[in-house]
C-alpha cells in the first residue's frame, strides 16, 4: 500500500480557502487559488497597502517651521513587488511603484489645507457664491501656482492662530513662513501679468490684504514679543490693497470674465440709503473742521474727498449690513494726499480714520475683522491731541453702545 503524502497544515489561510476546505498558500497579496478563480482574497483586505511610512533622520532643509520633519519616503518591501501569477510565476510591479515618494508638505501643512477647505474658506465672505469660489475655484488655481498655495496655507494658519491660542506660536511661525514664501514667489508673476495667471494673482491680493489686517492679530503679541500697533497695521493694510489695485488694474477685464468673477461683483450699487441723523450730523462736524483747518488747500481738498467717499461707504452699509468687503473699498478710493496725512498722523486725517473705525465695527462678524474697529479707534484716541478728541465723540459713542467696551474718559466727557 503506497505511503500517504505528508503535508503541513495551514492555520492562517484566507477565508475563501477555509470555506472550500482546500489548502491556502497564504500569500498576503492574494492566494493563488483566489487569483485563479477571480475571488476577492481576505488576505488582501487584511493588508490593503503593504506600505510602510519611514521617517528618515531630518536635515536642516527638511525641517518644518515647528521642527517637524517632512513626510518621509514611502518604502515598499521588495517582496511586495512580486505577485504570483496563475502559472505560479512572479510578475514585476510597475517601475513607478518602486520609486520612493517624498512629499514636500509637512503634516502641519496638511492640517492647514484641511482646515482651509472645511472651515476657513467659509469665513472669508458671507456670500454663498463667493464662499463656493473660495472653497473650489481658488484651491484649483493654487494647484498651478505655488505662491497661491502658500497664501492659502498662511491664511489657514492665521485663522487657527486666532481660534486656538494655545498653539499660537506654532501657527504664527507657520503663517509667517507661508506668507513670506507667497510674497517672494509671486514677484515674477506680478511683473508679467497675463490672462492666465491674473486669477491666481487676484486671489493672492485678497488673501494678502486680509493677512496684513489680522497678522499679527492686535490681541496678541508679535513674534518679537512686542504688541502690534493698530494704526501701523491699518496703514499697512491700506498700502497693500492700494498697491495691489494698481498692479492688477490692467487685468480687471480678464478677472471679470474668469473663474473668480464673483469676487468683483457687488449688488449694492447704484442704490444708496440716506444717512441716519446721527451719522449725518457727525460728518457735518467733520466737514466744518476741514473748512476751519489751517492746512494747505490741497490737503484740505483731499480730506474733503476722503470724507465724501466715507459717507458713500456708510450709505452702502445702511443697505447691506455685515458685508466685510466694504472694509476694502474706502482705503482704495481715498486720495493719495490723504494717505500722506495719515502717514504723518495729522489730527484731521486721524479724526476721519476714527469714523472709518465705525465702518469696520459694523462689519465685525468675520474673524479677520473681529475687534478691529474698536482697537483702531482706541489707538486714534491715544494719538489725537486733547483738543481734537471731541472730533471722535460720535465714533466712541457708537461703538460703546453696540459693545460691552467703554473707552477711557476724555476731556470732552467732563465738559459742562
Strands (E), 250-292: none
What is the phi-psi region of residue 21: left when phi exceeds 0, alpha when psi lies from -120 to 50, beta otherwise?
Answer: left
| Spatial separation of the C-alpha atoms in residues 353 and 231, rounded to whole Å | 10
| 3-class DSSP assignment, residue 26 | coil
Terminal CA-CA length for the chain: 127
Non-local CB neighbours of 186 within 8 Å, separated by 6+ positions: 147, 201, 204
User: In angstroms, rounded to a whole number, what is the distance separating the alpha carbons of residues 198 and 151?
Assistant: 15
d(CA 74, CA 102) in angstroms, rounded, equals 7
Helix, strand, or coil (residue 63): strand
In DSSP terms, which residues pair with 83 in a beta bridge? 91
Q: Which domains does the chain have, with CATH numbers?
A: 12-56+79-88 (4.10.240), 107-264 (no CATH), 277-413 (no CATH)
Q: Are 348 and 325 in contact (CB under 8 A)?
A: no
Q: What angle do CA 65, 74, 76 make, to 5 degrees?
A: 165
| pTM of this structure | 0.66
Residue with the three cell numbers 450709505 = 315
User: Can you tell me the distance from the alpha carbon of 379 to that of 274, in angstroms, rounded to the nearest whole number?
Assistant: 29
Longest dimension (CA), the chain: 127
Nearest Cα neighbor of 214 from 163, 285, 267 is 163
Q: Determine how β-strand 82-84 pairs with β-strand 90-92.
A: antiparallel
Q: Where are the alpha helices (DSSP H) in 293-346?
A: 297-319, 326-333, 336-343
Looking at residue 367, its pLDDT comes to 82
Contacts made by residues 243-248, CB under 8 angstroms, sequence distance 24+: 244/205, 244/208, 244/209, 245/332, 247/190, 247/193, 247/201, 247/205, 248/193, 248/198, 248/201, 248/202, 248/205
Give whole-number Cα distances, 98 to 75, 79, 93, in Å: 8, 11, 8
Picking from 350, 367, 300, 318, the residue whose alpha carbon sits closest to that of residue 122 is 367
> Cα(176)–Cα(212) distance, rounded to whole angstroms?
11
pLDDT, one tens digit for every residue, the chain (416 residues): 555 555 556 667 888 888 888 888 887 667 878 777 767 777 764 443 333 333 344 444 434 444 443 433 333 333 333 333 444 443 333 333 333 434 455 899 999 999 999 999 998 887 788 899 999 999 999 999 999 999 999 999 999 998 998 998 899 999 999 999 999 999 999 889 999 999 999 999 989 988 887 765 444 444 433 346 888 888 888 888 888 777 778 888 899 899 998 887 665 554 567 888 899 999 999 999 998 876 788 889 999 999 999 998 888 776 665 566 667 788 988 999 999 999 999 999 999 999 999 988 887 667 888 888 888 999 999 999 999 999 999 999 999 887 665 555 554 444 44
Residue of 146, 143, 173, 147 whose CA lies nearest to 158: 173
CA–CA separation, 41 and 253 (whole Å): 58
What is the distance between the alpha carbons of residues 356 and 230, in angstroms, rounded to a whole number? 13
Displacement of CA 322 from its chain's centroid (Å): 19
CA 361 centroid distance within chain = 21
All three cell numbers of 243: 498697491
Cα–Cα dist 233/201, whole Å: 22
Other CB atoms within 10 Å distance of the CB of residue 155 = 31
Q: Collapse the DSSP code of 227 into the 3-class scheme (helix H, G, I; strand E, B; otherwise coil) and give the result.
A: strand
Q: Would you state the torsion angle of the CA atoms of residues 236, 242, 247, 251, taken in this order, to the nearest 10 degrees?
A: 130
Amino acid at each position: 500500500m503506497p505511503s500517504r503524502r505528508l503535508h503541513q497544515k495551514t492555520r492562517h489561510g484566507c477565508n475563501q480557502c477555509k470555506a472550500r476546505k482546500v489548502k491556502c498558500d497564504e500569500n498576503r497579496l492574494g492566494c493563488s487559488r483566489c487569483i485563479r478563480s477571480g475571488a476577492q482574497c481576505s488576505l488582501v483586505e487584511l493588508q490593503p497597502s503593504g506600505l510602510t511610512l519611514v521617517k528618515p533622520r531630518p536635515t536642516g532643509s527638511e525641517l518644518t517651521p515647528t521642527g517637524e520633519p517632512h513626510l518621509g519616503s514611502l518604502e515598499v518591501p521588495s517582496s511586495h513587488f512580486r505577485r504570483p501569477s496563475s502559472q505560479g510565476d512572479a510578475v514585476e510591479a510597475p517601475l513607478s511603484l518602486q520609486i520612493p515618494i517624498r512629499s514636500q508638505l509637512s503634516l502641519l501643512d496638511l492640517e492647514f489645507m484641511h482646515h482651509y477647505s472645511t472651515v476657513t474658506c467659509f469665513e472669508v465672505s458671507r456670500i454663498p457664491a463667493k464662499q463656493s469660489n473660495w472653497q473650489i475655484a481658488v484651491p484649483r488655481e493654487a494647484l498651478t501656482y505655488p505662491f497661491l498655495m502658500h497664501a492659502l496655507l498662511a491664511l489657514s494658519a492665521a485663522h487657527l492662530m486666532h481660534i486656538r491660542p494655545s498653539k499660537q506660536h506654532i501657527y504664527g511661525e507657520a503663517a509667517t513662513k507661508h506668507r513670506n514664501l507667497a510674497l517672494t514667489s509671486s514677484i515674477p508673476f506680478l511683473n508679467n501679468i497675463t490672462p492666465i495667471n491674473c486669477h491666481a494673482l487676484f486671489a493672492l491680493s485678497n488673501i494678502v490684504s486680509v493677512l496684513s489686517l489680522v497678522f499679527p492679530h492686535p490681541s496678541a503679541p508679535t513674534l518679537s514679543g512686542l504688541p502690534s500697533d493698530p494704526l501701523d497695521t491699518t496703514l499697512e493694510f491700506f498700502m497693500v490693497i492700494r498697491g495691489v489695485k494698481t498692479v492688477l488694474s490692467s487685468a480687471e477685464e480678464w478677472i471679470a470674465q474668469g473663474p473668480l468673477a464673483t469676487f468683483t461683483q457687488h449688488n449694492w450699487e447704484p442704490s444708496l440709503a440716506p444717512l441716519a441723523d446721527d451719522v449725518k450730523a457727525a460728518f457735518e462736524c467733520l466737514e466744518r473742521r476741514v473748512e476751519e483747518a489751517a492746512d494747505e488747500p490741497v490737503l484740505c481738498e483731499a480730506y474733503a474727498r476722503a470724507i465724501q467717499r466715507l459717507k458713500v461707504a456708510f450709505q452702502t452699509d445702511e443697505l447691506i449690513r455685515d458685508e466685510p468687503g466694504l472694509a476694502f473699498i474706502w482705503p482704495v478710493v481715498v486720495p493719495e494726499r490723504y494717505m500722506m496725512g495719515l502717514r504723518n498722523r495729522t489730527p484731521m486725517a486721524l479724526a476721519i480714520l476714527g469714523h472709518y473705525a465705525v465702518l469696520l465695527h459694523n462689519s465685525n462678524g468675520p474673524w479677520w475683522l473681529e475687534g478691529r474697529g474698536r482697537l483702531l479707534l482706541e489707538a486714534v484716541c491715544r494719538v489725537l491731541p486733547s483738543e481734537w478728541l471731541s472730533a471722535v465723540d460720535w465714533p466712541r459713542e457708537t461703538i460703546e453702545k453696540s459693545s460691552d467696551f467703554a473707552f477711557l474718559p476724555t476731556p470732552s466727557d467732563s465738559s459742562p
